[in-house]
Amino acid sequence: MKFYRRWQPVQAMTFDLDDTLYDNRSVIIRAEQLLLDWLGEHCPDMSVFDWAAWQVMRKEVIERDARLVGFVTEIRRAQITLAASRCGMESIKAKQFADEAVAFFLHERSNFTVPQEAFDALAVLANDYPLIAITNGNVDSERLGLSSYFQCVLAAGPDGAAKPAGALFTKAKQALGLSADKILHVGDHLKSDVRGAKLAGYKACWFNGTKKPLTAQRHASILPDVEISHIGELLSLTRDS
């Protein structure tokens, strides 16, 4: 554990989920490959779309409807709908196909086991602090067994603009009934989590899963209050520490 600012005790914690409580990168890589396999099986014409083509379509659907920004599931749904239409499907069929594809992806996207270390840490912390999850992703926290540790799970899109925007932090602060400086946000992303939390007035704990120092991180713009490399290190931060 490394402190960058003078520590003052907090009364609550908020948590990012992806890449903070578990390795989300490997999960997404697997789920996206399974989705591509599913798409190719159910619509062989889609096999012609490579990674670059999918990225172009992603950009296109966002340009068509800026309201999609921050809604990762709806971006994927629109992206697949567009791809299906380009494969010759009529509008209604393309939308139905996209709905089925997204349902498949969401199942696989949450088809993994959270490390026991995360459960153990949350169980202890939840006895001492009210906890809220704040995520830009679309993981099924209930299915993963995480929801019971949190008062609520706030997700970008349905609950407000994606981090580092302040909407989710504001909503969490209101739910906790505390001033922002009494809340510690824990997250892996220096922009979305650390910058977002600090701009919202929170204390920020950077979960450094990369093992690279802060000075070597390209998204470093605001110092966190504290840095950890294992979630269990949070257990040393008590109300009286």
pLDDT tens profile 171-225: 999 999 999 999 999 999 999 999 999 999 999 999 999 888 888 888 788 999 9
Residue-wise pLDDT for 23-41, tens only, equals 999 999 999 999 999 999 9
Buried b (16+ CB within 10 A) or exposed e, 208-220: beeeeeeeebeeb
Residue 240 has pLDDT above 60, yes or no: no
Question: Nearest Cα to 58, choosing from 24, 83, 86?
Answer: 83
Residue 241 has pLDDT above 60, yes or no: no
Residue 50 has pLDDT above 60, yes or no: yes
Q: Indicate the average pLDDT of the chain.
A: 94
Least confident among 44-58, 140-154, 212-226: 212-226
DSSP letter at 157? B
Determine which one of 16, 19, 193, 225 is catalytic: 16
Tokens of 114: 């959270």
pLDDT value of residue 218: 81
Residue 169 has pLDDT above 60, yes or no: yes
Mean of pLDDT values over 60-70: 91
pTM of the model: 0.91
Nearest-10 Cα torsion for 210, 213, 202, 72: -30
Residue 69 has pLDDT above 90, yes or no: no
Count CA within 13 A, CB hemisphere, residue 222.
Answer: 21
Domains of the chain are 2-22+113-236 (3.40.50.1000), 26-109 (1.20.120.1600)
Percentage above 70 pLDDT, the chain: 98
Residue 16 annotated to the active site: yes
pLDDT value of residue 238: 66
Q: Are strands 226-228 and 2-3 parallel, antiparallel or unpaired?
A: antiparallel
